[in-house]
Amino acid sequence: MNLLKSLWILILVSLLLTNCKNKESNELAILDTANIYIKGTMDAELTSPPFVPAPVGNRTAKKLLVNMEILEKEGTMTDGVQYVYWTFGGSVPGSFIRTRVGDLVEFTLSNHPDNKLPHNIDLHAVTGSGGGATSSFVAPGHNKTFSFKTLNPGLYVYHCATAPVGMHIANGMYGLILVEPEGGLPKVDKEYYIMQGDFYTKGENGEKGLQPFDMTKAIKEDADYVVFNGKVGALTGDNAITANVGETVRLFVGNGGPNLTSSFHVIGEIFDKVNIEGGDMINTNVQTTSIPSGGAAIVEFKVEVPGTFILVDHAIFRAFNKGALGMLKVIGKENKNIYSGVKQEGIYHPEGGTIQTMPVDKKVEVAALVQEKPLAQKIADGKQVYMTTCFACHQEKGQGIPNAFPPLYKSDYLNADVKRAIGIVLNGKTGEITVNGNKYNSVMTKQTLTDVEVADVMTYVYNSWGNNKTNVSVNTVKEVKNSH
């Protein structure tokens, strides 16, 4: 009996040791991605933001041909502000590259003959000298080809690494390369490509004209613009990304820098899943995720209710004052069990029914009449004020944000009473209003503007988007100010 028992113990131990060895062998086989078999050749699909190539699915590892062109080109930073971007593939961020683990990537980098400078590329997905930078330094009118094996799944940044490296990155030379695991990522309904960058210009934020790069500001990390996908408004209005209620959304989010860490957040949503720093580790139920300069994250969530969801860097002045703001527009049937909207509105008096204020010794300002600018100049100056002060809430074409901020486009509320509108800019506004048949109950904060700036911006608004073309004078602004 004891002999039989001993034999069973030996058999069990032997099985356990065999299983452990097999498990160890399988793990080593999985980890040895350098020796994954390559079958066939294919051209890589490259896409401009916010779009991404088709998922790799369960395709075999292949020799993947990537052809990318560097272009130095003038583009729009914000309305009236131009900037010369240095780009991979003609866009900022550069073309999205989608691979799978074990691919052999043959990368050809071409520098357009009209460009002025040499460039190269450092891909964080590369295991090799300089991430490919030492093999890809290329002068205008030339190209370089090198190859690398994708060993590690994840979402990786690529960027130019030609000296001065910071300048090349600051001018827009960055993008993302995705290395999917074997078998591909889990299926979702929508995927988008978003990348944050900070820009440094000789002129201040909103200063018009072609603005050159400012190295001194960049060294001090004093950014004039912090934006998604290369410009203010790249993901707002008609450029917003979209989804339908009930769909799952995956965002590939990168941060080109060159300096600032991103605190990425979607107002009104919670990330069901975040691949932290673009790697294997997954966090769940995340409100805001930190993305370092030169890093990335994959965020996923299901959209349960309709609305316009605002994408921001939650270092919030960057969003509302420097441009790090985008939109996800979700359409579909409302679900009152999840979000009811306003159910009731009342007046809250914490110390009884009497509203009490401190007495004010009001001094009415008596000012001399101000010499008015020509109308065209007021409109031009007012547009600059609008883009730096009002754009985030009311948007580039005055369309506002549904259910949040009312439109200025053909606004019946605005056109009905010019002095009332001036008073709102000067003093702010709370409480429900109806604009073009829709109710809004948001807060308009008091704006810190000079009388001239108020006159300019109101004149611009009234002379835009089908409004009544009122020319608001500085003296009218003063009159409204003194009446309150």
| Binding-site positions | 119, 124, 159-160, 168, 173, 314
Give the tokens for residue 324. Answer: 């790090």
Q: Which residue, among 468, 402, 392, has the nearest Cα to 435 in the 3D structure? A: 402
**Alpha-carbon gap, residue 213 to 190, rounded angstroms:** 35
- C-alpha of 190 from chain center: 16
Q: Shortest CA distance to 250 belongs to which of 268, 233, 229, 272?
A: 272
Contact 70, 109 (CB under 8 A): yes
CA 163 to chain CA centroid, nearest Å: 27
- Contact (Cβ atoms closer than 8 angstroms) between residue 201 and residue 287: no
Tokens of 178: 């995705």
- Which residues lie below 8 Å from residue 452, measured CB to CB, with a gap of 6+? 370, 474
Instruction: Read off the tokens for 402.
Output: 């549904």
For residues 337 and 372, give the distance between their C-alpha atoms in angstroms, rounded to a whole number: 55
The string over 132-169, giving b where at least 16 C-beta atoms fall within 10 Å of a residue's C-beta and e elsewhere, is bbebbbbebeeebebbbbbbebbbbbbbbbbeebebbb
Distance CA 323, CA 328 (A): 16
Binding site feature residues for Cu cation: 119, 124, 159-160, 168, 173, 314
